[in-house]
Amino acid sequence: MKRFSQLMFLQICILSILFLPFSAKDEQLTARDDSLTWVTALDELIRTAPDLEGAISGISVRDTSDTSLLYEHQADIRLTPASNMKLLTSAIALDILGETHTFPTDIWMDGSIQKKTLHGSLYLRGTGDPTLLEEDFAALAKQVKKAGIHTIRGQLAADDTWYDDTRYSIDLPWSDEDQYYGAQISALTASPNQDYDAGTIILEVKPGKKAGQKADYEMIPKTDVAQVINQVKTVPEDGKKKISFKRSHGTNKITLTGTIPVKASSSKQWVALWDPAAYALDLMKRALKAEGIQVKGPLKTKQVPKKAKKIASHSSMPLSELLVPMMKLSNNTHAEILLKELGKKVKNKGSFEAGLDVMNERLPAFGVDPSLAVLRDGSGISPINLVSANQFTLFLTNIQKEQWFKTYEHALPLAGASERMVGGTLRNRLKGPATLEKVRAKTGSLTAVSTLSGYIDTQGGKTLAFSILFNHLVDDEKGKEIEDRIVSILAENL
């Protein structure tokens, strides 16, 4: 009887487990099954996508409410992040320089002013402003005139000594130095338009009136620093529009080649110039001339003497605004200038090395262990930068508590938003209902590399931090398509 009672009791317990709490158990299984569905979908996509065959994929997803990992795939492997590096650079810049940080550009004079003539020299001194436009030089020239100067007997000099004279980050490919994304880094530079691609000019090529004629071009802004050799030919209407340029190393001699059909729309080419300080100084001379101020002496590169007097000044937009074109349009020059500015602020040395030292010292406060990463620049153009997906998501989660986070988040490209300075590099991506304007993330692209890291507001009400790093791709454009599929799966199922 005792054994029978024990068996009966055991059976009752089993039946109780199976039937009495049925609804609660069913809910748990359903939740687990749903979880397995999206996890399985991600696993299957990564395993079977033909374009990921032979590539290396690092993927990390965290719940930002508690930093918990929801998904990871090779997420501790160090991979090249491309422009996802700007996520780190911009945050550390906000943290150390502050949202209100500006870059002043000043004009100084030595000697004396007698009867509207400066018997001395005028100095244009930069401290890193990457947003100087023609109109800003014009405003400076007006201030010079207001100071009572109509003629300058001495030199017009450029002072770019706020940073060191290393113009390129250590791993910039030689083939990129004439491209807008590979422009030289200088404390004194200028931009052609409000995209603020500092250190570049725009050559807008237009067809001639008849086939066989040489094409026309316009330089924006006009500068005597650049010398253009135009070899572009106008071809019949059914011909091809294919235009390229090459700037000779160490010079500003630019050769335009190719063809453009009659009646075709113009083609714009952004060309990074050699010696941005000379470019800025030429724009300053032109602005002075437009104000009727004559410069008698030569143009020079020279540091402002200690006894000089400041007579004009212009300040850049604050860092909170500068980050918008930098992050939305992925501006490399801005990122490297911020890196040097970090070095100048903390180490009193405006160099790549000093800036990287500051980055390595500050990143641990936000969850990035520098001993597990390799940082070579601020922009991500180096293929030797190495950061893991898990470090990115931990960083993105931890910075949410900072008072500058809203500024940082606002600067990120917004998925599917058509306006250029809102959607940025994501304006033509992730336009589905689950992701449209629900994903704020930084894109990244190098040869054989595609990356995407940022935040997702999911349909289930969660905010996720995610990082997708693809390396060794044969086609990095295909990598972007897979990134979008992964983000869509997360947005729809969590």
Active site residues: 83, 86, 330
Asked if residue 230 lies in contact with residue 214, where contact means CB atoms within 8 angstroms, the answer is yes
Helix (H, G, I), strand (E, B) or coil at 344: helix
Q: Which two tokens stand for residue 451?
A: 């990356």
User: What is residue 374's DSSP assignment?
Assistant: B
Q: What is the CA radius of gyration of the chain?
A: 28
Residue 100's CB is within 10 A of a number of other CB atoms, namely 8
Distances (CA, A) of 69 to 41, 61, 205, 467: 17, 6, 51, 12
In this structure, the strands spanning 227-235 and 253-261 are: parallel
CA–CA separation, 34 vs 30, rounded Å? 6
Across 237-280, where does the E strand assignment appear? 242-247, 253-261, 267-272
The secondary structure element, H or E, covering residue 453 is strand 449-457
Q: Is the N-terminal amide bond of 433 cis, ω within 30° of 0?
A: no
- Within 13 Å and on the Cβ side, how many CA atoms surround 49? 24
Give residue 442's region: left, alpha or beta (phi > 0; psi -120 to 50).
beta
Q: Which two tokens stand for residue 16?
A: 């109780």
Asked if residue 366 lies in contact with residue 399, where contact means CB atoms within 8 angstroms, the answer is yes
CA–CA separation, 454 vs 473, rounded Å? 21
- Long-range Cβ contacts of 352-358 (<8 Å, 24+ apart): 352/166, 352/169, 352/170, 352/377, 352/378, 358/92, 358/96
| Residue 86 identity | K
CB-count burial class (<10 Å; 0-12, 13-18, 19+) for 66? exposed
CA–CA separation, 485 vs 490, rounded Å? 9
